[in-house]
């Protein structure tokens, strides 16, 4: 029996319960007929013109993005706007749009969990625990929540860790930025896929040897570095937002294939990081 969009939504919301989303977030079904048949899904971090064209060009009936296209301050979907043009392209192409955002971050197999797994972190637990259950973990599972903190298989230097991170992530123009001495020894790693400067003051992060995240802004990063000088704190590794979350798409694809046999799930390899090149001074 073919699967409908309603079946896919039910599976997605079983894997990534909507009640796990932050209050400001807007995950879920953004467009599409729940009764439509779904044979092919494309997964991406961002719904942008290129990934929309890719999904429609591949004949997909559903595009699942990590970041919601419609979230803040949307008052029009006129085709003279970028979001309106993308929605029109999807609708005309018979492709629905769904988003799994912060609700996919806090599950046991979420965005930060994937990054922690690839780094080989032992005994990794959430930085900020959540009570939101999911099908792969009990409500008391310490892996439920934002971010991860754990130990590397063996001590290394900050420089070596940064190079390892660069090798794990897909390449971007911004590369990997580091605050801390290259030879500093590190073992305990706190991390958060996507923008994570809101966790800089968390006691678990403050107690780690290094904090890995994306989109670190000048003032929060500077304050964290200066605080570490007088009260201790982690070195910082700052990476591309897109790259840190793109790794999770393979996990999401595997979970959807298991939940929805017969549906083809394609992970987009298009780079949606917004930067094209970097001039090193």
- Is 267 a member of any domain? no
DSSP assignment of 89-158: HHHHTT-EEEE--HHHHSSTTSHHHHHHHHHT-EEEE-SEE----BTTB-TT-TT-EESEEEEEEEEEEH
pTM of this structure: 0.95
Residue range 64-99, pLDDT digits in tens: 999 999 988 788 999 999 999 999 999 999 999 999
Do both 31 and 110 map to the same domain? no
Among 103, 135, 153, the domain-final residue is 103
- Kindly indicate the confidence band of residue 138, based on its pLDDT and cuts at 50, 70 and 90: low
- Is 46 a member of any domain? yes
Residue range 240-270, pLDDT digits in tens: 999 999 999 999 999 999 999 999 999 999 9
- Longest Cα pair distance anywhere in the chain, in angstroms? 64
Q: State whether residue 192 is helix, strand or coil.
A: strand
Do both 125 and 147 map to the same domain? yes
Do both 113 and 227 map to the same domain? yes
The pLDDT value recorded for residue 130 is: 86
Rounded distance between C-alpha atoms, residue 261 and residue 254, angstroms? 11
Which range of residues forms the domain containing residue 55? 3-103
Mean pLDDT, to the nearest integer, of 117-127? Answer: 97
- Is 189 a member of any domain? yes
Give Cα separations from 253 to 15, 94, 97, 193, 259 (angstroms): 11, 21, 16, 18, 10
Q: Is the pLDDT reported for residue 140 higher than 80?
A: no
SS3 content of the chain, % helix, strand, coil (to 5): 35, 25, 40
Element housing 179 (H / E) = strand 177-179
The pLDDT value recorded for residue 134 is: 56
Do both 213 and 141 map to the same domain? yes
- Residues facing residue 190 across a β-bridge: 149, 211
Domain count across the chain: 2
- Is 67 a member of any domain? yes
- Is 167 a member of any domain? yes
Q: State whether residue 1 is helix, strand or coil.
A: coil
- Residue keyed to tokens 């958060």: 192
């Amino acid at each position: 029996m073919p699967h409908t969009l309603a079946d896919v939504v039910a599976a997605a919301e079983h894997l990534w319960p909507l009640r796990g989303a932050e209050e400001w977030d807007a995950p879920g079904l953004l467009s599409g007929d729940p009764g439509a048949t779904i044979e092919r899904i494309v997964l991406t971090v961002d719904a942008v013109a290129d990934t929309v064209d890719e999904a429609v060009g591949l004949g997909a009936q559903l595009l699942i993005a990590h970041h919601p296209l419609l979230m803040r301050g949307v008052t029009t979907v006129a085709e003279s706007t970028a979001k309106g043009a993308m929605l029109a392209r999807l609708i005309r192409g018979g492709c629905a749009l769904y988003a799994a955002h912060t609700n996919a971050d806090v599950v046991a197999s979420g965005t930060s969990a994937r990054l922690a797994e690839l780094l080989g972190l032992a005994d990794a637990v959430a930085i900020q625990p959540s009570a939101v259950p999911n099908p792969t973990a009990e409500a008391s599972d310490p892996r439920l929540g934002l971010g991860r903190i754990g130990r590397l298989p063996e001590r290394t230097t900050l420089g070596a860790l940064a190079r390892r991170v660069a090798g794990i992530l897909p390449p971007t123009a911004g590369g990997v930025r580091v605050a801390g001495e290259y030879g500093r020894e590190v073992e305990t790693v706190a991390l958060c896929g996507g923008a994570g400067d809101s966790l800089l003051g968390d006691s678990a992060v403050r107690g780690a040897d290094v904090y890995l995240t994306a989109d670190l802004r000048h003032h929060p990063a500077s304050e964290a570095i200066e605080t570490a000088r007088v009260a201790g704190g982690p070195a910082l590794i700052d990476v591309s937002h897109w790259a840190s979350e793109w790794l999770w798409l393979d996990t999401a694809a595997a979970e959807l294939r298991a939940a929805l046999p017969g549906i083809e799930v394609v992970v987009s390899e298009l780079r949606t990081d917004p930067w094209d090149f970097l001039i090193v001074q």
